[in-house]
Amino acid sequence: MHFLPHNVMAKVWAYFDGVGPLTGQPWPITYREGEAERLARLRAMGVRAFPSLVYPHKSGMAAWLNDWAADFAGRHEDVLQTATFFPEPTAAAYVEQALADGAKVFKAHVQVGAYDPREPLLTPVWAQLAQAQVPVVVHCGNGPMPGQFTGPEIFADVLDQHPTLVAVIAHMGLPDYGAFLSLAERYPAVYLDTTMAFTSWAERHVPFPPELRGALLTLRDRIILGSDFPNIPYPYSEQLAGLVRLDLGDDWLRAVLHDNAAELLGLS
């Protein structure tokens, strides 16, 4: 889920409007609505709790976004307070402050930020998050479009240095599903979120390898529902339908759609 200040969200939507020509396929924003309308829609669909997952694309933004996200969560009981960071000299200080202020989840967007997650300025940040055991959703995969510092090998270096980091790999790491599932098998604090994976859209372009279905069962307790609402080119229900089509059983679905995230985030 993404909720951002109005001007930042407008820039994100403008980016996706231009992604079509870059990728050769259109990317219409299905839920291009006002903030109040999006909140009401999620609640009407039965979504019980969700983060804002703010993220910066340059230095000097993260602390301001953290303040906005804290205020946003304070105004909405079902919003989980999110924080973020960028490789800059002040990062360790404002991450420490965000943790003290009650941030429940962090977001790191390596692709959009175009930074190396191994950057020494981030070493104390990863260390703080690992010590606090607060999850960080990390977009470090090569999809939907690769970045200079995306890919499983690069983030594996971060995990080698911080093996207890509670990292939630966005998009199941698509298209490198196998490599990121292997990281989760290797590091017990690594989770994966389902954002876009298994949808008809993803299956047309980056299909999930059938031979990896066993890993989905083995890692059942560390796979979490993700959607990228509102910035998706299909209805929210398609994400759920994709998970149902896997036919891995009701217990698996219940864990992925609710129990795993509720436990990870300490929700009753």
- C-alpha 21/C-alpha 39 separation (Å) is 30
DSSP string, 14-45: HHHHHHHHHHTS----TT---HHHHHHHHHHT
Number of domains in the chain: 1
User: Domain for residue 230, yes or no?
Assistant: yes
Beta carbons of 105 and 138 less than 8 angstroms apart: no
Range of the domain at 221: 6-264
Q: What is the CATH number of the domain that holds 104?
A: 3.20.20.140
Per-residue pLDDT reduced to its tens digit, 177-234: 999 999 999 999 999 999 999 999 999 999 999 999 999 999 999 999 999 999 999 9
Per-residue pLDDT reduced to its tens digit, 89-141: 999 999 999 999 999 999 999 999 999 999 999 999 999 999 999 999 999 99
User: Domain for residue 58, yes or no?
Assistant: yes
State pTM to two decimals: 0.96
User: Domain for residue 1, yes or no?
Assistant: no
User: Domain for residue 252, yes or no?
Assistant: yes
Beta carbons of 31 and 41 less than 8 angstroms apart: yes
